[in-house]
């Protein structure tokens, strides 16, 4: 996303001066993708040469799209070298790494922008407008359910995300989007979390119930792949074959591990009760094996309620996803004493409900965009608060207790200030 945006849409304003990757095969493929006629190509560096990249190429900004547990390392090294950072969500995965980022930012004064594209979706921005305008009065409570289907959801259980030491689990890796939306929509910050979670579906017992005895450790070469609805055929997809199957010899990374392995370390069923400084309470649910994909959210207010629903994928049939159309996004406003009213939901073209082109415009050409009255850009503080709900939820799952976020931060000496 970032690479193509810079080289295709904003080439008159920015230039990619270097690419860096841990896998030499993928690094070479990325270099081919950014090469343009009349140029000598882009400098490439392996991950162990990252500091030399900065010294030799002198970039203004580093774009970090590594696995989550490595974000902090590259952010801090970029800060120390005098670079700003654009970072994929989540900012990082745990308190120790968060502290290194916060301390380095205070020490260097450099900036990091966390790319929360959901903030830029026209439909989500409409929700922000409604709440900020007082359409339902004071918001008192929220019910938020996010459904991952059996294609997208399953994918987290076959790659690096499936271990918490890599991703923080789905309550950090995935839910950072959702907790950031709640923080932004409500204009408040979480104070305490009580959560529960378990792996209910992606387990060996499910494989046995599906008749997948004798399954292999990965989809490629699996003796029962032909009858498994969860198989990922790397060889059949040109992009996946090129990026992963043909790159395995360089680092031994397998993109298609079995989603039913016993040693998976993340949950697939999670619920959290969240308290906010404003007094709002929220109940949040995330499942990773739903028959459909999308979100359902209800805001209760002193004047009425808002119900927002987005069906992104109708369902999975024989391994094929049935994508929904634009009409699958609905927002209902129901004021006390009045008939519920369906609102016209704004739409835009582009990925993530039209959010990506808007976000990329503000990142790479802010002068060419209208001033953002919604405050959608996210710095290290917003990035931190988006993961703190998930980190607290993980701690609550481990202990069975309510986790106070301020106490959690204080115990680690983390101060979140602009």
Which residues of the chain carry a pLDDT beneath 50? none
Domains assigned to the chain: 2-114 (3.40.50.720), 121-201+264-348+383-412 (3.30.360.10), 204-251 (no CATH)
End-to-end CA distance of the chain: 28
- Which residues, 6 or more positions from 70, have their beta carbon under 8 angstroms from its beta carbon? none
Residue 318 confidence (pLDDT)? 61
Residue 347 confidence (pLDDT)? 82
CA dihedral 102, 107, 109, 111 (to 10 degrees): -30
Residue 275 confidence (pLDDT)? 98
SS3 145: strand
The number of angstroms, rounded, from the C-alpha of 185 to the middle of its chain's C-alpha atoms is 17
Q: Say what the pTM is.
A: 0.95
Cα separations in angstroms, 338 against 290, 305, 311, 343, 400: 34, 11, 26, 14, 42
Residue 418 confidence (pLDDT)? 65
Gap between the Cα atoms of 231 and 218, Å rounded = 9
Which region holds residue 329: left if phi is over 0, alpha if psi is between -120 and 50, else beta?
beta
Q: How many CA atoms lie within 13 A of 277 on its CB side?
A: 10
Residue 383 confidence (pLDDT)? 97
Residue 350 confidence (pLDDT)? 75
């Amino acid at each position: 996303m970032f690479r193509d945006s810079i080289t295709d849409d904003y080439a008159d304003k920015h230039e990619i001066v270097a690419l860096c990757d841990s896998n030499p095969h993928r690094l070479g493929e990325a270099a081919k993708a950014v090469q343009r006629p009349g140029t000598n190509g882009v400098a490439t560096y392996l991950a162990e040469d990252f500091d030399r990249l900065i010294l030799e190429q002198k970039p203004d900004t580093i774009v970090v799209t590594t696995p989550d547990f490595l974000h902090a390392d590259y952010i801090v090294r970029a800060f120390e070298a005098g670079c700003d950072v654009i970072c994929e969500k989540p900012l990082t995965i745990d308190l120790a790494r968060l502290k290194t980022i916060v301390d380095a930012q205070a020490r260097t004064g450099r900036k990091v922008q966390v790319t929360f594209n959901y903030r830029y979706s026209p439909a989500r921005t409409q929700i922000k407008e409604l709440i900020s305008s007082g359409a339902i009065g004071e918001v008192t409570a929220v019910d938020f359910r996010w459904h991952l289907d059996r294609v997208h959801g399953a994918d987290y259980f076959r790659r690096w995300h499936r271990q918490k030491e890599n991703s923080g689990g789905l309550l950090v890796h995935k839910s950072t989007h959702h907790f950031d939306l709640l923080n932004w929509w409500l204009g408040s910050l979480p104070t305490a979390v009580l959560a529960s979670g378990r792996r209910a579906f992606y387990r060996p017992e499910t494989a046995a119930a599906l008749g997948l005895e004798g399954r292999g450790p990965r989809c490629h070469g699996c003796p029962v792949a032909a009858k498994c609805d969860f198989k990922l055929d790397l060889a059949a997809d040109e992009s996946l074959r090129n990026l992963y199957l043909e790159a395995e010899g360089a680092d031994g990374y397998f993109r298609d591990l079995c989603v039913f392995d016993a040693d998976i370390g993340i949950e697939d069923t999670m619920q959290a009760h969240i308290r906010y400084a404003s007094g709002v309470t929220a109940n949040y649910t995330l499942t990773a094996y739903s028959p459909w994909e999308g979100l359902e959210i209800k805001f209760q207010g002193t004047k009425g309620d808002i119900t927002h629903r987005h069906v992104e994928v109708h369902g999975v049939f024989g391994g094929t996803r049935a994508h929904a159309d634009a009409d699958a996004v609905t927002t209902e406003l129901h004021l006390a004493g009045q008939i519920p009213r369906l609102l016209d939901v704004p739409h835009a073209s582009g990925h993530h409900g039209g959010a990506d082109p808007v976000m990329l415009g503000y990142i790479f050409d802010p002068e060419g965009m209208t001033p953002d009255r919604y405050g959608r850009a996210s710095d290290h503080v917003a990035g931190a608060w988006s993961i703190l709900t998930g980190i607290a939820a993980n701690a609550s799952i481990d202990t069975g207790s309510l986790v106070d976020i301020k106490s959690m931060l204080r115990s680690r000496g983390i101060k979140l200030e602009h």
